[in-house]
Chains A and B, each alone.
Chain A
Amino acid sequence: MFSRDLVGGLVTIVLGSLYLVFSFRQRVSALADSIGPAGMPKVLGFLMVALGIVLCIQAIYQYRKSALSSPTEWDGIGGQILRAFGLVCIAILYIYLIAILGYVPSIALLLAAVAIYLGATISWRLAVIALCGSLALWAIFVLLLDVPMPAGILFQN
């Protein structure tokens, strides 16, 4: 019953509704034109909700007509999402760490963590690749392109 289209439609309705709520709460300036800052967002919100409903109706119609939502459609999806979420966590940790450790140690840790997470074995080779990779990226961004990468709280002085 809960095909990808139906889930997509429901998510669209929720997203459109939230957007609409904030559109109606939008402050209006005395300098605003006849449409105002909330004009287009309101139209977009209503369209989003309407299209979400259409997608849900289509999904239900398809399910009743030919039972396209096969039981295998969602097989293993929970595990897949969790694995993807693991990578997101590593990226979030990197964003948190770069402000503390600085660019080179953080990017080396990111390289090593992602490689291990995706199946690389922990070895001297991995450590060397992570270290050399971080130094190469530092050379490209800091030396070559003159980008002021974070020094980190620990190494600021």
Chain B
Amino acid sequence: MDALLSSLANLEFYLALAAVLGVAWGIVGGALPGISPSITMALLLPFTYALEPSMAIVLLASTYVGAEYGGSIPAILIRTPGTNAAAAAVIDGYEMNRQGKAGLALGISLYSGVIGSLIGLLALVLLSEPLAKLALAFTPPAYFALGILGLSVIVSLSGESLVKGLIAALLGLMISTIGTDPVSGISRFTFGFSDLLSGIQPILIMVGLFAMSELLKQASTQDEVRVKTAPRIQFPDNALKKRLILPQSIGALFGGFEGVMPGAGGTIASFMSYNEAKRWSKSKHEFGKGSPEGIAAPETANNTVAETSLIPLLSFGIPGSNSTAILLGGFLIHGLIPGPMLFSRSGEIVGDLYAGLLIAAIALLFIGITIMPACIWLVNRPRPYLNAFILALIMSGIYSINNSLFELSVVLVAGIIGYFMRLLKFPFLPTVLGLVLGFMIESNFRRSLLLSGDELSIFVSDRISLVLLSVAGLFIIGSLAKRLLQTLIGNSEKQLPSSAES
């Protein structure tokens, strides 16, 4: 809290500007169907090279906040969620739109998004530093265990198929081995390309997997018919605000919890909060038919997650979602390593981030109102022009990182890999996690063995390592048990109709 107050007292204009611009860009990106918060952030990442570290981090984090809100705009207007987390807002948002209440639906979404952001920020400020102090005693075995803990969430991120999730993670780990060996300094898998000696930057793979593959997917499928609308935003009155307190509290609770858990994310939080808001509502029958509560709960949840998902990133350096993985890229670009040392070495950056996020939450309200006409205009642009500009932006942005044409080819290859991963229904996030955590896991595992004289017991004798490995084990077992239970329930439900027929 002190860091936030100190940064607010000495707030510089450029930070406030970064927060406002980030939110504005995030809303625009989030409102574009198919452009997720992570893609929106990835497109912006090359621009941050030339910026001050604080400004770059605030810009990216504010983009995330804006994009989480922006996703609900096409969800309400054209029944197309701009982000995964906005999918729950489609149910009642679009119904309200059909009833001629699109303005009110957008107003509830914005109002709940701002509340979610503020609650999430409070949780972030109060929980990040204590966790980081605990992590100051980290040794190579502990960092290895932390990497394994990060990878353990793959079980819950794998979607329908655990095997596919694990394969995707292995792909990321394989890409992380390209370049110079962290211990002996010998080159690996470079095939004579000097550009590969320093390895492949995660951002190139992320832009390829998310943005490029989305463009390829859209190029390969027919354009769908889109409805054009031009509503005005309308905020809830006092009576409705009172009615929304309970679903917003439920949304904040789930958003807070799911955000802290690496890998849980806004989508799960928004659907779970929608479900619970319906369970506790006095007007259950309205859900699915245009209930304001049905918008308030998921929108509060996914905006809370936008803030609380930064807790594992700041405290442990673990990106719990695609977007925080991009934010991690932003930190690394500027030589900042999120985790325990961030608070002691670069405390002012953390304070600036908190202050920036507070401004972003407030700016969300004002920009949400003023940017609405532009968002609707962009969403309704012909797809050929929209996608042409996105590709031009990717090509220009990636070249600007290292002035390298070779890196454009890497993005293109990653895009092709991403396209086929989509085609074969492999998830992306495990690949990103493997890529980001691969170097950390390998280098610290080998360093630990060098320290212990090849004794594996070092991972058990180190207390933090033991605790983290145990938590990872519990997480894997819990997720596997949950999967098994869901499979069994699914099988029994399939058998029920057939037994009833017989």
Give A contacts to B, CB under 8 Å.
4-5, 7-8, 11-12, 15-16, 19, 22, 26-29, 31-41, 44-45, 47-48, 51-52, 54-55, 58, 77, 79-81, 83-84, 86-88, 91-92, 94-95, 98-99, 103, 107, 110-112, 114-120, 129, 133-134, 137, 140-141, 145-150
Contact = CB atoms under 8 A, between A and B. Distances in A.
A84 B184 contact: no
B458 interface: no
A108 B221 CA distance: 24
A118 B387 contact: yes
A33 B184 contact: yes
Contact of A33 (B163, B221, B449): B449
Given A47-B170, A54-B163, A147-B399, 12 more contacts: A4-B424, A35-B446, A44-B170, A58-B161, A88-B416, A107-B395, A110-B392, A115-B387, A119-B383, A120-B388, A148-B403, A149-B399
Nearest to A39: B446
Contacts of A86: 219
Contacts of B403: 147-148
A145 B397 CA distance: 11
Nearest to A116: B384
Contacts of B387: 114-115, 118
Bin the interface of chain B by size: 35 or more
A40 B442 contact: yes
Contact of A114 (B173, B391, B405): B391
Contacts of B389: 111, 133
A140 B395 CA distance: 13
Contacts of A137: 392-393, 396
B155 to A, nearest CB: 14
Interface stretch (B31-39, B81-89, B185-193, B229-237): B185-193
A47 B434 CA distance: 14
Contacts of B217: 84
A119 B222 CA distance: 10
Contacts of B183: 32-33, 35, 37
Contacts of A38: 188
B308 to A, nearest CB: 32
A112 B217 CA distance: 19
A50 to B, nearest CB: 10
A36 B449 CA distance: 12
The 3 closest A-B pairs by CB, nearest first: A118-B384, A114-B388, A37-B181
Nearest to B434: A44
Most buried by B among A5, A33, A98, A103: A33
A12 B186 contact: no
A116 B388 CA distance: 9
B366 interface: no
B315 interface: no
Contacts of A40: 173, 177, 442, 445
A11 B184 contact: no
Contact of B189 (A22, A29, A58, A149): A22
B501 interface: no
B307 to A, nearest CB: 29
A61 B8 CA distance: 60
A41 B177 CA distance: 7
A73 B216 CA distance: 19
A19 B172 CA distance: 13
A84 B396 CA distance: 20
B167 A51 contact: yes
A41 B366 CA distance: 51
B167 A145 contact: no
Nearest to B51: A145
Nearest to A108: B392
Most buried by B among A8, A37, A77: A37
A79 B220 CA distance: 8
Interface string B438-456: 0000100110011000100
Contacts of A47: 166, 170
B490 interface: no
Nearest to B181: A37
B423 A77 contact: yes
A34 B454 contact: yes
B131 interface: no
A9 to B, nearest CB: 8
Contacts of A5: 161, 164, 424-425
Contacts of A116: 384
B395 A32 contact: no
B163 A87 contact: no
Contact of B184 (A37, A45, A99, A103): A37
Contact of A87 (B181, B219, B405, B442): B219
Contact of A145 (B47, B218, B426): B47
Given A95-B405, A110-B395, A12 B167 contact: yes
A7 B450 CA distance: 41
B136 interface: no
